[in-house]
Protein backbone atom coordinates (compact mmCIF):
# COMPACT_ATOMS: atom_id res chain seq x y z
CA UNK A 1 0.00 0.00 0.00
CA UNK A 2 1.24 3.53 -0.88
CA UNK A 3 2.46 5.66 2.00
CA UNK A 4 -0.11 8.21 3.04
CA UNK A 5 -3.01 6.62 1.21
CA UNK A 6 -6.08 6.70 3.41
CA UNK A 7 -8.18 3.57 3.67
CA UNK A 8 -11.67 4.08 2.25
CA UNK A 9 -14.93 2.76 3.54
CA UNK A 10 -16.08 -0.28 1.61
CA UNK A 11 -18.37 -3.25 1.85
CA UNK A 12 -16.60 -6.34 3.13
CA UNK A 13 -18.32 -9.72 3.34
CA UNK A 14 -16.87 -12.48 5.52
CA UNK A 15 -17.47 -16.24 5.47
CA UNK A 16 -19.99 -16.24 8.29
CA UNK A 17 -22.04 -13.42 6.75
CA UNK A 18 -22.12 -15.10 3.37
CA UNK A 19 -23.12 -18.48 4.81
CA UNK A 20 -25.99 -16.92 6.73
CA UNK A 21 -27.09 -14.91 3.68
CA UNK A 22 -27.00 -17.95 1.41
CA UNK A 23 -28.98 -19.99 3.89
CA UNK A 24 -31.59 -17.26 4.25
CA UNK A 25 -31.89 -16.68 0.50
CA UNK A 26 -32.47 -20.39 -0.10
CA UNK A 27 -35.25 -20.45 2.49
CA UNK A 28 -36.77 -17.26 1.10
CA UNK A 29 -36.68 -18.70 -2.39
CA UNK A 30 -38.52 -21.82 -1.26
CA UNK A 31 -41.22 -20.18 0.84
CA UNK A 32 -41.88 -17.30 -1.52
CA UNK A 33 -41.94 -19.40 -4.68
CA UNK A 34 -39.52 -17.04 -6.42
CA UNK A 35 -37.13 -18.11 -9.16
CA UNK A 36 -34.04 -15.96 -8.63
CA UNK A 37 -32.75 -13.97 -5.69
CA UNK A 38 -29.64 -11.85 -5.37
CA UNK A 39 -28.07 -9.61 -2.80
CA UNK A 40 -26.25 -6.72 -4.46
CA UNK A 41 -24.45 -3.60 -3.32
CA UNK A 42 -26.11 -0.24 -3.90
CA UNK A 43 -23.23 0.55 -6.26
CA UNK A 44 -24.38 -2.33 -8.49
CA UNK A 45 -22.11 -5.23 -7.60
CA UNK A 46 -23.48 -8.70 -6.86
CA UNK A 47 -22.79 -10.23 -3.43
CA UNK A 48 -24.50 -13.61 -3.67
CA UNK A 49 -27.39 -15.29 -5.48
CA UNK A 50 -29.89 -18.09 -5.02
CA UNK A 51 -31.14 -19.64 -8.23
CA UNK A 52 -31.98 -23.00 -9.72
CA UNK A 53 -29.87 -22.17 -12.75
CA UNK A 54 -26.84 -19.97 -13.32
CA UNK A 55 -28.03 -16.57 -14.47
CA UNK A 56 -25.62 -15.37 -17.17
CA UNK A 57 -26.73 -11.76 -16.88
CA UNK A 58 -26.28 -11.36 -13.13
CA UNK A 59 -23.73 -8.54 -13.49
CA UNK A 60 -25.95 -6.56 -15.85
CA UNK A 61 -29.00 -7.26 -13.70
CA UNK A 62 -27.21 -6.03 -10.58
CA UNK A 63 -25.97 -2.89 -12.29
CA UNK A 64 -29.35 -2.00 -13.74
CA UNK A 65 -31.33 -2.83 -10.61
CA UNK A 66 -29.05 -0.76 -8.38
CA UNK A 67 -29.19 2.19 -10.74
CA UNK A 68 -32.94 1.92 -11.10
CA UNK A 69 -33.33 1.77 -7.34
CA UNK A 70 -31.07 4.79 -6.88
CA UNK A 71 -33.19 6.70 -9.39
CA UNK A 72 -36.32 5.70 -7.47
CA UNK A 73 -34.88 7.13 -4.28
CA UNK A 74 -34.17 10.42 -6.04
CA UNK A 75 -37.75 10.47 -7.31
CA UNK A 76 -38.88 10.10 -3.71
CA UNK A 77 -36.87 13.13 -2.67
CA UNK A 78 -38.27 15.21 -5.51
CA UNK A 79 -41.77 14.22 -4.36
CA UNK A 80 -40.88 15.14 -0.75
CA UNK A 81 -41.20 11.52 0.29
CA UNK A 82 -38.61 10.35 2.80
CA UNK A 83 -37.73 7.26 0.77
CA UNK A 84 -39.17 4.59 -1.49
CA UNK A 85 -37.88 1.35 -0.06
CA UNK A 86 -39.29 -0.86 -2.79
CA UNK A 87 -39.09 -1.07 -6.57
CA UNK A 88 -41.48 -3.39 -8.40
CA UNK A 89 -41.78 -4.13 -12.10
CA UNK A 90 -44.66 -6.27 -13.33
CA UNK A 91 -44.21 -8.13 -16.59
CA UNK A 92 -46.36 -10.55 -18.56
CA UNK A 93 -44.46 -13.59 -17.43
CA UNK A 94 -41.90 -12.33 -14.94
CA UNK A 95 -41.86 -9.79 -12.12
CA UNK A 96 -38.94 -7.97 -10.52
CA UNK A 97 -38.94 -6.91 -6.87
CA UNK A 98 -36.06 -4.81 -5.49
CA UNK A 99 -35.96 -3.77 -1.85
CA UNK A 100 -33.47 -2.09 0.42
CA UNK A 101 -31.70 -4.11 3.11
CA UNK A 102 -29.18 -1.55 4.39
CA UNK A 103 -27.62 1.65 3.09
CA UNK A 104 -25.21 -0.51 1.10
CA UNK A 105 -27.21 -3.64 0.25
CA UNK A 106 -30.27 -4.38 -1.91
CA UNK A 107 -32.31 -7.57 -2.36
CA UNK A 108 -33.44 -8.54 -5.87
CA UNK A 109 -36.18 -11.13 -6.38
CA UNK A 110 -37.65 -12.34 -9.66
CA UNK A 111 -40.78 -14.47 -9.76
CA UNK A 112 -43.34 -15.68 -12.27
CA UNK A 113 -47.09 -15.26 -12.51
CA UNK A 114 -47.71 -18.38 -10.47
CA UNK A 115 -46.44 -16.56 -7.38
CA UNK A 116 -48.39 -13.81 -5.65
CA UNK A 117 -46.61 -10.50 -5.13
CA UNK A 118 -48.09 -10.25 -1.63
CA UNK A 119 -46.38 -13.48 -0.68
CA UNK A 120 -43.04 -12.24 -1.98
CA UNK A 121 -43.48 -8.93 -0.23
CA UNK A 122 -44.41 -10.52 3.10
CA UNK A 123 -41.57 -13.04 3.20
CA UNK A 124 -38.99 -10.65 1.82
CA UNK A 125 -39.79 -8.13 4.56
CA UNK A 126 -39.22 -10.80 7.18
CA UNK A 127 -35.99 -11.87 5.51
CA UNK A 128 -34.75 -8.28 5.30
CA UNK A 129 -35.03 -7.91 9.05
CA UNK A 130 -32.65 -10.84 9.48
CA UNK A 131 -30.37 -9.74 6.64
CA UNK A 132 -30.10 -6.31 8.18
CA UNK A 133 -28.79 -7.85 11.39
CA UNK A 134 -26.27 -9.91 9.43
CA UNK A 135 -24.82 -6.87 7.66
CA UNK A 136 -25.10 -4.32 10.42
CA UNK A 137 -24.00 -6.48 13.28
CA UNK A 138 -20.54 -7.61 12.41
CA UNK A 139 -18.56 -5.20 10.30
CA UNK A 140 -17.66 -1.51 10.35
CA UNK A 141 -17.12 -1.45 6.60
CA UNK A 142 -13.41 -0.70 6.83
CA UNK A 143 -11.50 -2.17 3.92
CA UNK A 144 -8.99 -4.63 5.37
CA UNK A 145 -5.36 -4.81 4.35
CA UNK A 146 -5.08 -6.95 1.24
CA UNK A 147 -2.23 -9.39 0.84
CA UNK A 148 0.99 -7.42 0.38
CA UNK A 149 1.58 -9.09 -2.98
CA UNK A 150 -1.94 -8.45 -4.27
CA UNK A 151 -1.10 -5.11 -5.89
CA UNK A 152 1.88 -6.51 -7.78
CA UNK A 153 0.02 -9.65 -8.82
CA UNK A 154 -2.93 -7.57 -10.05
CA UNK A 155 -0.58 -5.33 -12.03
CA UNK A 156 0.96 -8.38 -13.68
CA UNK A 157 -2.49 -9.77 -14.48
CA UNK A 158 -3.44 -6.45 -16.09
CA UNK A 159 -0.26 -6.37 -18.16
CA UNK A 160 -1.10 -9.85 -19.38
CA UNK A 161 -4.79 -9.14 -20.12
CA UNK A 162 -3.95 -5.98 -22.07
CA UNK A 163 -0.76 -7.36 -23.61
CA UNK A 164 -1.74 -7.06 -27.29
CA UNK A 165 -3.84 -3.90 -27.05
CA UNK B 1 -15.78 1.76 -2.23
CA UNK B 2 -14.74 -1.70 -3.35
CA UNK B 3 -16.92 -4.69 -2.60
CA UNK B 4 -14.67 -7.33 -1.06
CA UNK B 5 -16.33 -10.68 -0.67
CA UNK B 6 -13.80 -12.77 1.24
CA UNK B 7 -16.20 -15.66 1.52
CA UNK B 8 -16.69 -15.91 -2.25
CA UNK B 9 -13.08 -14.79 -2.83
CA UNK B 10 -14.17 -11.85 -4.98
CA UNK B 11 -13.21 -8.19 -5.16
CA UNK B 12 -15.06 -5.67 -7.32
CA UNK B 13 -14.03 -2.14 -8.24
CA UNK B 14 -16.20 0.51 -9.88
CA UNK B 15 -14.66 2.88 -12.41
CA UNK B 16 -16.54 5.72 -14.10
CA UNK B 17 -15.76 7.53 -17.36
CA UNK B 18 -16.74 11.19 -16.92
CA UNK B 19 -16.71 14.12 -19.32
CA UNK B 20 -18.80 16.42 -21.48
CA UNK B 21 -21.22 15.29 -24.16
CA UNK B 22 -19.67 13.62 -27.23
CA UNK B 23 -16.16 13.57 -25.71
CA UNK B 24 -15.80 9.82 -26.33
CA UNK B 25 -16.73 8.05 -23.09
CA UNK B 26 -18.98 5.49 -24.73
CA UNK B 27 -16.47 5.10 -27.57
CA UNK B 28 -13.85 4.05 -24.99
CA UNK B 29 -16.14 1.33 -23.65
CA UNK B 30 -17.13 0.17 -27.12
CA UNK B 31 -13.48 -0.16 -28.12
CA UNK B 32 -12.64 -2.14 -24.98
CA UNK B 33 -15.66 -4.37 -25.55
CA UNK B 34 -14.64 -4.97 -29.16
CA UNK B 35 -10.96 -5.66 -28.59
CA UNK B 36 -10.60 -7.45 -25.29
CA UNK B 37 -10.71 -11.21 -24.95
CA UNK B 38 -14.46 -12.04 -24.86
CA UNK B 39 -13.87 -14.36 -21.93
CA UNK B 40 -12.64 -11.41 -19.88
CA UNK B 41 -15.69 -9.23 -20.35
CA UNK B 42 -19.42 -9.33 -19.88
CA UNK B 43 -22.20 -7.75 -21.88
CA UNK B 44 -22.03 -4.07 -22.77
CA UNK B 45 -25.23 -2.51 -21.45
CA UNK B 46 -26.20 0.91 -22.80
CA UNK B 47 -29.12 3.06 -21.73
CA UNK B 48 -29.21 5.56 -24.56
CA UNK B 49 -31.67 7.85 -26.34
CA UNK B 50 -32.89 7.17 -29.87
CA UNK B 51 -30.02 9.36 -31.10
CA UNK B 52 -27.57 7.05 -29.27
CA UNK B 53 -26.71 9.70 -26.71
CA UNK B 54 -26.19 8.17 -23.28
CA UNK B 55 -29.35 8.72 -21.25
CA UNK B 56 -28.35 7.07 -17.99
CA UNK B 57 -25.12 5.06 -18.34
CA UNK B 58 -23.18 2.40 -20.22
CA UNK B 59 -21.91 -0.57 -18.25
CA UNK B 60 -19.17 -3.08 -19.06
CA UNK B 61 -17.87 -5.63 -16.54
CA UNK B 62 -14.27 -6.82 -16.95
CA UNK B 63 -12.74 -9.81 -15.22
CA UNK B 64 -9.05 -9.67 -14.45
CA UNK B 65 -9.06 -13.30 -13.37
CA UNK B 66 -7.94 -14.79 -10.09
CA UNK B 67 -5.34 -12.66 -8.35
CA UNK B 68 -3.85 -14.15 -5.20
CA UNK B 69 -6.93 -16.31 -4.85
CA UNK B 70 -9.36 -13.41 -5.34
CA UNK B 71 -11.57 -13.18 -8.43
CA UNK B 72 -10.92 -9.56 -9.39
CA UNK B 73 -13.39 -7.51 -11.43
CA UNK B 74 -13.63 -3.98 -12.71
CA UNK B 75 -17.08 -2.58 -13.44
CA UNK B 76 -16.79 0.20 -16.01
CA UNK B 77 -19.51 2.86 -16.29
CA UNK B 78 -20.00 6.01 -18.31
CA UNK B 79 -22.18 8.95 -17.30
CA UNK B 80 -24.40 10.99 -19.62
CA UNK B 81 -22.37 13.95 -20.83
CA UNK B 82 -25.10 16.51 -21.30
CA UNK B 83 -25.50 18.80 -18.28
CA UNK B 84 -29.26 18.26 -18.48
CA UNK B 85 -28.71 14.78 -17.03
CA UNK B 86 -26.76 15.76 -13.93
CA UNK B 87 -29.15 13.95 -11.59
CA UNK B 88 -28.34 10.70 -13.42
CA UNK B 89 -24.62 11.43 -13.31
CA UNK B 90 -24.74 11.74 -9.53
CA UNK B 91 -26.36 8.32 -9.25
CA UNK B 92 -23.70 6.64 -11.36
CA UNK B 93 -20.99 8.18 -9.17
CA UNK B 94 -22.25 6.36 -6.08
CA UNK B 95 -19.73 3.89 -4.71
CA UNK B 96 -16.95 4.66 -7.21
CA UNK B 97 -13.31 3.66 -6.80
CA UNK B 98 -11.82 5.41 -9.81
CA UNK B 99 -12.58 8.08 -12.40
CA UNK B 100 -11.36 8.58 -15.94
CA UNK B 101 -12.06 12.17 -16.96
CA UNK B 102 -12.28 12.17 -20.75
CA UNK B 103 -11.40 15.60 -22.13
CA UNK B 104 -12.34 16.52 -25.69
CA UNK B 105 -9.13 18.08 -27.04
CA UNK B 106 -10.85 20.17 -29.71
CA UNK B 107 -10.44 23.95 -29.44
CA UNK B 108 -14.19 24.42 -29.74
CA UNK B 109 -14.98 22.25 -26.71
CA UNK B 110 -13.08 24.15 -24.03
CA UNK B 111 -16.13 25.53 -22.21
CA UNK B 112 -17.82 22.13 -22.13
CA UNK B 113 -14.66 20.48 -20.76
CA UNK B 114 -14.24 23.02 -17.98
CA UNK B 115 -17.93 22.89 -17.08
CA UNK B 116 -17.84 19.10 -16.89
CA UNK B 117 -14.64 19.07 -14.84
CA UNK B 118 -16.07 21.52 -12.30
CA UNK B 119 -19.33 19.61 -12.26
CA UNK B 120 -17.46 16.40 -11.44
CA UNK B 121 -15.91 18.06 -8.41
CA UNK B 122 -19.23 19.54 -7.33
CA UNK B 123 -20.87 16.13 -7.51
CA UNK B 124 -18.08 14.35 -5.65
CA UNK B 125 -18.02 16.94 -2.90
CA UNK B 126 -21.82 16.89 -2.58
CA UNK B 127 -21.78 13.15 -1.99
CA UNK B 128 -18.88 13.39 0.44
CA UNK B 129 -16.20 11.83 -1.73
CA UNK B 130 -12.60 12.94 -1.56
CA UNK B 131 -10.93 12.73 -4.95
CA UNK B 132 -7.52 12.22 -3.37
CA UNK B 133 -8.76 8.82 -2.17
CA UNK B 134 -9.97 7.74 -5.60
CA UNK B 135 -8.11 6.58 -8.66
CA UNK B 136 -8.06 9.48 -11.12
CA UNK B 137 -6.75 9.76 -14.67
CA UNK B 138 -7.29 12.39 -17.33
CA UNK B 139 -7.60 11.11 -20.86
CA UNK B 140 -7.03 13.74 -23.54
CA UNK B 141 -9.13 12.32 -26.32
CA UNK B 142 -9.38 13.06 -30.03
CA UNK B 143 -5.66 13.69 -30.42
CA UNK B 144 -6.03 12.45 -34.02
CA UNK B 145 -7.92 15.63 -34.97
CA UNK B 146 -6.21 18.83 -36.15
CA UNK B 147 -7.73 21.81 -34.29
CA UNK B 148 -6.85 20.67 -30.81
CA UNK B 149 -5.37 22.19 -27.67
CA UNK B 150 -1.82 21.33 -26.73
CA UNK B 151 -1.48 18.77 -23.96
CA UNK B 152 0.25 21.41 -21.84
CA UNK B 153 -2.66 23.86 -22.15
CA UNK B 154 -5.28 21.25 -21.36
CA UNK B 155 -3.22 20.01 -18.47
CA UNK B 156 -3.10 23.48 -16.99
CA UNK B 157 -6.83 23.97 -17.42
CA UNK B 158 -8.10 20.59 -16.27
CA UNK B 159 -5.56 18.98 -14.01
CA UNK B 160 -5.19 20.88 -10.77
CA UNK B 161 -4.56 17.58 -8.94
CA UNK B 162 -1.50 16.69 -11.03
CA UNK B 163 -3.07 13.36 -12.01
CA UNK B 164 -1.71 11.11 -14.77
CA UNK B 165 -2.56 12.25 -18.29
CA UNK B 166 -2.96 9.93 -21.26
CA UNK B 167 -3.23 11.10 -24.86
CA UNK B 168 -5.82 9.09 -26.75
CA UNK B 169 -7.96 8.62 -29.79
CA UNK B 170 -10.77 6.41 -28.58
CA UNK B 171 -12.13 5.89 -32.06
CA UNK B 172 -8.85 4.31 -33.23
CA UNK B 173 -8.06 2.79 -29.84
CA UNK B 174 -4.91 4.76 -29.17
CA UNK B 175 -4.47 5.21 -25.43
CA UNK B 176 -7.72 3.47 -24.51
CA UNK B 177 -6.21 0.48 -22.72
CA UNK B 178 -3.32 2.51 -21.37
CA UNK B 179 -5.81 4.83 -19.66
CA UNK B 180 -7.73 1.91 -18.21
CA UNK B 181 -4.60 0.21 -16.97
CA UNK B 182 -3.37 3.31 -15.16
CA UNK B 183 -6.64 3.87 -13.30
CA UNK B 184 -7.04 0.16 -12.46
CA UNK B 185 -3.58 0.09 -10.90
CA UNK B 186 -4.42 3.25 -8.96
CA UNK B 187 -7.64 1.90 -7.46
CA UNK B 188 -5.90 -1.27 -6.36
CA UNK B 189 -3.11 0.78 -4.79
CA UNK B 190 -5.67 2.78 -2.81
CA UNK B 191 -7.11 -0.34 -1.20
CA UNK B 192 -4.27 -2.83 -1.37
| B132 or A36, higher pLDDT | A36
DSSP secondary structure code for residue A83 in this structure: -
Per-residue pLDDT, averaged over B60-78, amounts to: 94
Contacts of A14 in chain B (CB under 8 A): 6-7
- Give me chain B's average pLDDT, please: 93
Q: What is the pLDDT of residues A99-131, one digit of tens each?
A: 999 989 999 999 999 999 999 999 999 999 999
Alpha carbon distances (Å) from B32 to A79, B145, B164: 39, 21, 20
The answer to whether residue A10 is domain-embedded is: no
B135: pLDDT confidence band, cut at 50, 70 and 90? very high
The answer to whether residue A157 is domain-embedded is: yes
Q: Cβ contact (<8 Å) for A12 and B6?
A: yes
Q: What is the pLDDT of residues B50-60, one digit of tens each?
A: 778 888 899 99
| B190 or B171, higher pLDDT | B171
**Looking at the DSSP assignment, which residues form a beta bridge with residue A87?**
A98
If one counts the domains in chain A, the total is 1
Nearest-Cα residue of chain B relative to residue A6: B133
Task: Give me the domain span that covers residue A116.
Answer: 15-161
Q: What is the pLDDT of residues A17-70, one digit of tens each?
A: 999 999 999 999 999 999 999 999 998 989 999 987 767 789 999 999 999 998
d(CA B76, CA B40): 13
Q: Residues 6 or more apart from B34 whose CB is under 8 A from it?
A: none
Domain ranges of chain B: 3-191
**pLDDT value of residue B26:** 96
Task: Output the domain CATH number for residue A94.
Answer: 3.30.450.30
Question: CATH 1.10.490.10: does it fit domain B3-191?
Answer: no
d(CA B59, CA B15): 10
Alpha carbon distances (Å) from B162 to A3, A4, A100, B119: 18, 16, 39, 18
**pLDDT value of residue A140:** 53
Contacts of B45 in chain A (CB under 8 A): 60, 63-64
Amino acid sequence: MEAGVTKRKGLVINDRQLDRCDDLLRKLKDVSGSSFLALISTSGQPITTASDDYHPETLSLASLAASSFAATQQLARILDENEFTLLFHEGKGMNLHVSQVTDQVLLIITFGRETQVGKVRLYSQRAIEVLRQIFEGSDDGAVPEMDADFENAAANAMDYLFRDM
Amino acid sequence: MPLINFAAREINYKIVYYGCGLCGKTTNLQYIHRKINPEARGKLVSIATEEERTLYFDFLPLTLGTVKGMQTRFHLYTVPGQSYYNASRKLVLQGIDGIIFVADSQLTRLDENVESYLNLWDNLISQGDDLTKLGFVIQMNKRDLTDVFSVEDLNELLNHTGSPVIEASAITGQGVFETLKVVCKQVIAKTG
